[in-house]
């Protein structure tokens, strides 16, 4: 049995993880952590430190907020608790800094996107990148999302940039008109990224490649938060057998 604590257990993702872990035959939901936790049929603590004082668990799953996730990891890793992290907004430098706190045999697994479809979208984008002079990422999320651009969009842009030895011709050379700065999106490693926030979406992303007389669009839609759960459960199963920093669900997909 893998003993699991869910951090952010009262949130949209955390409550979905609670249901998925509870239904998994090889996992035991030991407790949740959430300062705004409602009554539940499992122990809920308001801080991770309090949970560690009272319970024993092998893995903590974190779907909280960009402002608190690093502190949670800083608390869990030195205690030998494997971290499966979905909370977005941390830089690569921060992840590396945090992973250095992991004792041998303890893993920090971060996936900017836990859906298999989004991982494949990123891999298809990486494969297409060398063949198209232009690439742009447009991501669409629900309007309660706290960070922009999404972790998936950042990672997609980084993968596109790493897969080609040129930058797009347009970005940087155009002039955004006064009062409409940002119209061309944010440049991440030379790739323009645009963030749409609206009611009606869970998470959607399009990657548009352009070449002479042709475009290629790769699109992924998450219609429901259950789409993330097979990836989260896979992370919980794999992390205890790993050590150090692992970024991306693709490392566990085979
Ligand atoms: P949410 O606001 O619904 O939930 C966050 C929860 O964290 C809240 O219940 C809040 O009370 C709790 N919280 C705040 N501070 C805390 C602390 N110190 N300790 C414990 N809990 C704390 O947010 P959400 O929609 O569930 O998203 C959570 C995060 O997951 C966001 O960063 C989002 O971008 C990310 N996300 C990642 C993926 C992925 O595949 N990697 C998918 C969806 C969302």
Site to substitute for ligand 1 among 5, 8, 31, 108, most atoms within 8 A of C-beta: 8
CATH code given to domain 116-222: 3.30.360.10
Per-residue confidence (pLDDT) for residue 25, from 0 to 100: 98
Q: What is the pLDDT of residues 30-51, one digit of tens each?
A: 999 999 977 889 999 999 999 9
Whether residue 247 has its Cβ less than 6 Å from ligand 1:
no
For residues 137-164, average pLDDT? 94
The domain locations on the chain are 2-110+225-252, 116-222
Q: What angle do CA 7, 8, 9 make, to 5 degrees?
A: 90
How far apart are the C-alpha atoms of 74 and 219, rounded to whole Å?
Answer: 35
Give residue 34 CA to ligand 1 midpoint distance, Å. Answer: 10
Q: Model confidence at 85, in pLDDT bands (50, 70, 90)?
A: very high
Is 145 a known active-site residue? yes
Q: What is the pLDDT of residues 122-133, one digit of tens each?
A: 999 999 999 999
Which atom of ligand 1 is closest in space to residue 16's alpha carbon? 26
CATH code given to domain 2-110+225-252: 3.40.50.720
Per-residue confidence (pLDDT) for residue 228, from 0 to 100: 96
Whether residue 68 has its Cβ less than 6 Å from ligand 1:
yes
Does residue 150 carry a pLDDT above 90? yes
CA of 41: how far to CAs of 44, 54, 122, 150, 152, in Å? 9, 16, 38, 33, 33
């Amino acid at each position: 049995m893998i003993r699991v604590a869910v951090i952010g257990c009262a949130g949209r993702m955390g409550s979905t993880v609670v249901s998925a872990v509870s239904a998994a035959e090889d996992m035991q939901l030991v407790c949740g952590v959430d300062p705004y936790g409602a009554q539940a049929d499992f122990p809920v603590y308001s801080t991770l430190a309090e949970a560690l004082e009272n319970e024993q668990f092998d893995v903590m799953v974190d779907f909280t907020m960009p402002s608190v996730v690093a502190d949670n990891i800083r608390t869990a890793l030195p205690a030998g608790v494997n971290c499966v992290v979905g909370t977005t907004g941390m830089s690569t430098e921060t992840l590396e800094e945090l992973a250095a706190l992991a004792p041998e045999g303890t893993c920090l697994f971060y996936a900017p996107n836990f859906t298999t479809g989004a991982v494949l979208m990123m891999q298809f984008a990486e494969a297409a990148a060398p063949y198209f002079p232009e690439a742009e990422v447009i991501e669409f999320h629900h309007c309660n999302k706290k960070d922009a651009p999404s972790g998936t969009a950042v990672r997609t842009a980084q993968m596109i940039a790493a897969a080609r030895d040129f930058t797009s011709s347009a970005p940087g050379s155009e002039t955004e008109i006064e009062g409409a700065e940002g119209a061309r999106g944010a440049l991440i490693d030379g790739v323009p990224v645009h963030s749409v926030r609206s009611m009606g979406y869970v998470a959607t992303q399009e990657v548009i490649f352009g070449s002479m007389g042709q475009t290629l669009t790769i699109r992924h839609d998450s219609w429901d938060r259950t789409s993330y759960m097979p990836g989260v459960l896979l992370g919980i199963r794999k992390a205890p057998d790993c050590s150090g920093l692992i970024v991306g669900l693709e490392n566990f997909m085979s």
